[in-house]
Structure 1
Amino acid sequence: MPRQRTGDTRARIQRVAIELFSEQGVQQTSLRDIADRLGVTKPALYYHFASREDLLNSLVQPLVEDFEAYAAEQQAAAPVEARELLGSYFDLAYRHRTLIQLAIRDLAVLHELKLADRFIQWRGQLADLLIGPAPAFADQVRCMVAIGGLSDCAVMIDHVPVDELRSAAVDAAYDSLGRP
């Protein structure tokens, strides 16, 4: 039987960790729980991750990198048509929905990883692109409803095919902006 490569083992650990974090919560899941589910020893996990926090950071890092790159790309491409921007934001949120759900369900994760501040920053950058840097109060509210509602749809609705969900969510977000 061929031996598993380190990258495969690392990915397997991450998959099981996400499962357990989603089932039990991050704070309630130990490395022992993850090792037991995998059928390996706890020291075997330490070979790949120094701590539960290290493992959690490895899960969140791709999300952070994607959102940072997305914000930079959108700012560099400005002006971007609003419907197109909302659609690409939906795609980004949908791609990372499992981790975002995990963070929403376990708010300590948002604080521990400073994700709340980052999400606020990213949403602010998106809002600037949608409504400009000095919008009227009513436009700010419409924009926050659009962005927040779009994100919630991408992350929380799972009983509808993604194409149908994307279309409905982007249309609703765009309509929330109050544009003709």
Structure 2
Amino acid sequence: MGGTMDGTKQQRRGNTRQRIQDVALELFAEQGYEKTSLREIAERLDVTKAALYYHFKTKEEIIVSLFEDLTRPLEELYEWGRELPHTLENKQEIIRRYSDALAGAEPLFRFMQENQATVRELRIGDTFKDRLRGFRDILIDPQAPLVEQVRCVSALFTLHAGMFVMVDLEDDLEKRRGAVLEVAMDLVTQAHQHTHGKP
């Protein structure tokens, strides 16, 4: 996880608000959300609690802000994708971009996976479920048989599972992402072809 966090930090601008988010996420991953205090976050950052309060009053505010920031590419992808016709090329491009967006938010999704009860309490779980349903709707052909609809939804879950379930099977992140993306693409392609016939 350390490498992923470092990579994420390099991609994100080095301002104080984002430093707080990154350090908080590291501490939440190390010792759990409930066991981490704002004081510990301030100490790790080597700032006063007052400086931390200037940006965030609670741990919940930190997590919600992280969720909003790191899932923004998914929001933008959803807005773009929902205007597109249900062509195979569009579905494949949505899956490709979804994979990229997940990679950028991997530390957040790892936190969500490992702290599911907390996520439910913070309401970001419901927000994320709603967004998943939105992606389901833009990937599924309304007239598709149920089994093909399941294939499309399974493509999304395959991308998520690849971040967690496959970690101990393949250390090379890019190799793992490539394999997971290939399977997700196959599922969407099969669903489209079985619904519309082979191209």
Partner of 1:115: 124
- Measure, in 1, the Cα distance between the counterparts of 2:16 and 2:124: 27
2:62 is the counterpart of 1:55: yes
Deviates more, 1:59-68 or 1:102-111: 59-68
Larger deviation, residues 87-96 vs 7-16: 7-16
Identity across the alignment (%): 35
TM-score, normalization: structure 2?
0.75
Q: Following TM superposition, by how much is the alpha carbon of 1:66 offset from its aligned partner in structure 2, in angstroms?
A: 2.7
2:172 to 160, 164, 174: 160
1:46-125, aligned counterparts within 5 Å?
46-80=53-87, 81=89, 82-125=91-134
Once the two structures are TM-superposed, the CA of residue 157 in structure 1 deviates from its matched residue by 4.5
Structure 1 residue ranges without an equivalent (≥5) = 1-6
Task: State the number of aligned residues.
Answer: 173
**What is the CA deviation profile of residues 55-113 of structure 1, one whole-angstrom value per residue up to 9, with x for unaligned ones?**
22221211343322211111123345232221111111111111011011001332133
SS of residue paired to 2:126: helix
**The 10-residue stretch of structure 1 (50-59 or 17-26) with the greater mean CA deviation from structure 2:** 50-59
Paired letter, 1:42: K
* Cα distance, 1:27–1:69 mapped onto 2, change above 3 Å: same
Query: Aligned Cα RMSD in Å?
Result: 2.3
Name the CA distance, whole Å, in 1 between partners of 2:18 and 2:155: 35
In the alignment, which residue of structure 2 is the partner of 1:3?
none
Of the structure 1 ranges 45-54 and 95-104, higher mean CA displacement relative to structure 2 is found in 45-54
Q: Determine the structure 2 residue equivalent to 1:25.
A: 32
Contact 1:101–1:156 (8 Å) recurs in 2: no
Judging changes above 3 Å, is the alpha-carbon distance between structure 1 residues 36 and 86 closer, same or farther for their aligned structure 2 residues?
same
Change in 2 beyond 3 A, CA 1:171/1:64 = closer
Range with bigger deviation, 111-120 or 52-61? 111-120
Residues 159, 181 of structure 2: 8 Å contact kept: yes
Cα deviation, 1:112-159, whole Å, max 9, x if unaligned, reads: 332332333222222223222343221222222221012221465552
8 Å CA contact retained: 1:21, 1:102: yes
Q: Unaligned regions of 5+ residues in structure 2, if any?
A: 1-13
Quote the residue 2:8 is aligned against. Answer: none
CA distance in 2, matches of 1:131, 1:37: 45
> Which of 35, 45, 51 is 2:42 aligned to?
35
In structure 1, what residue type is equivalent to 2:82?
Answer: Q
- Cα 1:106–1:128, aligned 2, differ >3 Å: closer, same or farther? same
